[in-house]
Structure 1
Amino acid sequence: MEISKAQFKIIEPLLPVQRGNVKIPNIQVINAILYIAEHGCEWRGLPENFGKWYSIYMRANR
């Protein structure tokens, strides 16, 4: 399950503003979290097309 750009525009105001040198956009982080929730895999099992698993994990924890 992935959210579209139109769906993301609806929830974007509810997310924290990206600060600093952020390489992974919020939509990619949201889609990675949805992937983890849907497949029930560990963070290390996240496919590489979402980015580095550790970066996604740290963003999700913040």
Structure 2
Amino acid sequence: MSKLLFQEQVERWGMLEVSCQGPAEGNPFVDHHIQGVFTGEKETVKTDGFYDGEGVYKVRFMPSFEGS
């Protein structure tokens, strides 16, 4: 995977989306897996990502608490 692209801040109940380039060969819907782990002061959330096409993989997260 290459470098991650994401916004530095997201509002409470806003959507954070992390994107990265990855393998596009084979069947990216079943041959590859991406997962994000988001840790804050009050919670840790693991969420599965998805293949978005053209070698791009994404993980989305919606924080439920304010903070770092």
Give TM class, smaller chain: under 0.3
User: Could you state the TM-score of these two structures normalised by the residue count of structure 1?
Assistant: 0.28
User: Could you state the TM-score of these two structures normalised by the residue count of structure 2?
Assistant: 0.27
**Structure number with bigger Rg:** 2
Tell me which protein shows more helix as a share of its residues. Answer: 1
Tell me which protein shows more strand as a share of its residues. Answer: 2
